[in-house]
Amino acid sequence: MSCQRHSLQVKWYDHVKNSDIAATTSLPNINDIIAKRRLALFGHVVRLDTNTPAHQILKQGVDVKSGHRPNAQWQRPPGRPRNSWLQQTNRGSLTAMRQSWRAAEDCGLLLPTAAVCALQ
């Protein structure tokens, strides 16, 4: 928003609302762009060959976040759980991770993302 305000030469003391600036510039919200790109990367990695290390690591991460232990001896590290890339991609919902995984597998396309495929 600050870059858009700077481009329009709007000062802080002009008291112009962010919604007015966004309407003037007609640019998409940066949070929406980031979420869309995260989902695109998620879908791309899900559709990789199952022998690819990135696919295996992401699958294990989804399994762990969904409550499945990788082996019997595994325990969660002590302390507060960190907000991971997976949680940010799926807005923190564990069931949404599984649904996004299945949607990305079913989609079979590199683009659009799994979420977009699910909406079509």
CA 112 to chain centre: 14
Q: In terms of pLDDT, which residue wins out, 93 or 1? A: 1
Give 32-44 pLDDT, tens digit per residue.
888 889 889 999 9
Local confidence band at 51 (pLDDT 50, 70, 90 cut-offs): very high
* Mean pLDDT value across the chain: 79
> Is the pTM of the predicted complex or chain greater than 0.85?
no
Lowest pLDDT segment from 11-20, 90-99, 110-119: 110-119
CA distance 33 to 48: 23
Tell me what pLDDT residue 106 has: 79
